[in-house]
Structure 1
């Protein structure tokens, strides 16, 4: 089991995935909340049945899987639906992540949790040792989201606004990477943090 657990979080289109890929390239195990979110709503899982009961049969595809696109549209236009969905999923995602982290090899492991600030921060994840926020100005974030997902400005703006604010994420950060430049800069910033986290893991093991 890894001696140290470092959460990586940030808003949509902030560069979290690029950051975790950079850690993986350094040989660091990455546990991903997006994978957890897919696993807990797989066909046959209790969460999927609860979603269908709360949101109706049209929340599922004909083959019984979750209709992610339909649910995404719904929660970004209905705050109550968003709260209900998170109440169903977040506890299960936390349980899945903690179990996966317990099995992670290496001196330290990275836990990718996009909705860490929205999901209760340290109060909900007391087993985290560090929180790394990938930070980006909102205008850059929205422009990247529009380009990445081919979205109109209004929808991209709503998606950004539906998440925690930049200030809320920074308030829970131990470390920050400002990702407003090229990918190479982000990779270099991760490389600088790597020995720091190795040193922290060594101290915690001592």
Structure 2
């Protein structure tokens, strides 16, 4: 297991994936909660079967995969349905995350999760890194990226914790408002060195404690 775990998060459209990829380019192992969430609902999985039984077969694409946009529309329009889905998926996702963290190597690794704070996954990490942009920037970037309806994107933003609370829970913050990749990369490089040092410090402290 990696000696030090960084929890990476940010609101929709913040550029979290861009930051995650930059850390990956530095050789850091990334455990991506979004990828794990897709893996637990692959065709013929128990979770996807339960979802189809609950919401109807129209929730599936012709190839048997989950129709994510259709599911998202149903969930964001109904809190009860959202709670049902979370009760089904969150334990499966959490267990897969724990397994991935246990298998991670290196001085430190990153747990990348858009709902790191909302789903209390931050209790699994040593430090929380937030990628931050304004709500207006979130809205503009997401609508442009996903060709989404503004109302739907607003609903997603409102379903996440507020920008102020997210920053308040952060140990480090990357400012991605300008979308200047070189500026973001410089912040990532600085944090990379910081996390390496923290991992070594924690390791030394643990060795001293064991003595």
Deviation, structure 1 residue 74: 1.4
1:99 aligns with 2:99: yes
User: In structure 1, what is the Cα distance between the partners aligned to 2:174 and 2:10?
Assistant: 10
CA RMSD of aligned residues (A): 1.5
1:168 corresponds to 2:159: no
Structure 1: how far apart are the matches of 2:65 and 2:12?
A: 24
Deviation at 1:22, TM superposition (A): 0.7
Structure 2, unpaired ranges of 5+: 205-211
Deviations 1:148-204 (A, max 9, x none): 112232222222222221123223211111210112221111111011100111112
- Equivalent residue in structure 2 for 1:197, among 195, 204, 207: 195
User: Is 1:51 the equivalent of 2:51?
Assistant: yes
Query: Comparing 74-83 with 20-29, which one deviates more in the overlay?
Result: 74-83
Take 2:143 and 2:130, find their aligned partners in 1: how far apart are those partners? 22
CA contact (8 A) 1:40 1:47 kept: yes
Mapping of residues 130-169 of structure 1, within 5 Å: 130-169=127-166
Shift >6 Å, 4+ stretches: none
Q: Deviations over 1:32-66 (max 9, x none)?
A: 01110011111232211221232222222233321
- Would you say how many aligned residue pairs link Structure 1 and Structure 2? 203
Q: Give runs of aligned pairs for residues 85-96 of structure 1, distance below 5 A.
A: 85-96=85-96
DSSP-derived class of the 1:151 partner: coil
Q: Which runs of 5+ in 1 are unaligned?
A: none
Q: Residues 132 and 176 of structure 1 are in contact (CA less than 8 Å); yes or no, is this contact kept in structure 2?
A: yes
1:183 corresponds in structure 2 to: 181
- Measured in 2, the distance between the counterparts of 1:28 and 1:135 equals 21
Q: Distance in 2 between matches of 1:195 and 1:162?
A: 34
Q: Does 1:42 align with 2:67?
A: no
Corresponding position of 1:2: 2
Deviation at 1:70, TM superposition (A): 0.8
Shift of 1:121: 4.5
The residue aligned with 1:22 is 22
